[in-house]
Amino acid sequence: MEDGVLRLYFANGGGACYVVSASNLAEQVPQYDDITLIVSAGQDISSQVDTLCQDGKNLFAILDGPATEITSTYDPSSSYAANSYAAVYYPWFTPSWADKPIPASGAIAGIYCSTDRTRGVWKAPANVVIQGGAEPQFIVTDSLQGQFNKGLAINMLRKLDDRGLVVWGARTLDDSDNWRYIAVRRLFNSAEKDIKAAMQSLVFEPNNQPTWEKVRGAVSNYLHGLWRQGALVGATEAEAYFVEIGEGTTMTADDIAQGKMIVSVGMAAARPAEFIILEFTQSVAQG
């Protein structure tokens, strides 16, 4: 990894991190439960992202855009695969203190960390000035931004007015309604990880009504906290989230006999009364 990548990472709010060679990424990352972001740092990690950044793995990748200048004819699908667990940033930087261009992903990762600490994962890591003397290698115009603000989107880093260089995009590499935005994808990553961890305490509990009510209460309290912090939209709790668990609702008698406890969670991350659904299955004692 270039020293400049780490310099810009820390200058923009980054904290403790792991430095791993790209060739070992797929083997090393699963060994650490506290990793939530993977940063390309100028390396081609497309195959590793395909393996690591999938449903249920709670990982999100920050990728660098092309190191060369792009025009309106550039096709992002030639370099990136559709993936709601990844986002691309362009252009690279040319700081005065560096003798060659520096990939943007390190600084962006620092902004993710800073935004997470001060606002929460549900706040888009955008409209933030990039610190550390970063200057864009290429200038992005309104027309170029518009060209890549759809489909396999590229998040642009732009010089705006007198503010300096600003992160001016917050989209994933997925243009579906549910997973178009980084903040939504990462909110669900965080919630999924937290709820799974909470459910671990119920392993070997009887798979019956009292246990289901404990689960319902614990998950509802967690989601209520997110709603109160502004992570979920809706004027009432019923508009913001729901938790379902029980025989005939999320489980069949056969599921219960096999020790499967299934809970369905819906969260309104974008619009009231429109829920994105997660389903969790925990193996428990038969009872």
For residue range 102-119, list pLDDT tens digits in order.
999 999 999 999 999 999
For residue range 201-257, list pLDDT tens digits in order.
888 889 999 999 999 999 999 999 999 999 999 999 999 999 999 999 999 999 999
Q: What does the domain layout of the chain look like in residue ranges?
A: 3-168, 203-283
For residue range 153-189, list pLDDT tens digits in order.
999 999 988 889 999 999 999 999 889 999 999 999 9
CATH architecture of residue range(s) 203-283: 2-Layer Sandwich (3.30)
The sheet carrying 164-168 orders its strands as 37-39, 60-64, 86-90, 155-160, 164-168
User: Residue 24, CB half-sphere, CA atoms under 13 Å: how many?
Assistant: 6
The pLDDT, as a whole number, for residue 272 is 45
Query: Residues 164, 129: contact at Cβ < 8 Å?
Result: yes
For residue range 24-77, list pLDDT tens digits in order.
999 999 999 999 999 999 999 999 999 999 999 999 999 999 999 999 999 999
Q: What residues pair up with 247 in beta bridges, in sequence order? A: 251
Provide the whole-model pTM: 0.92
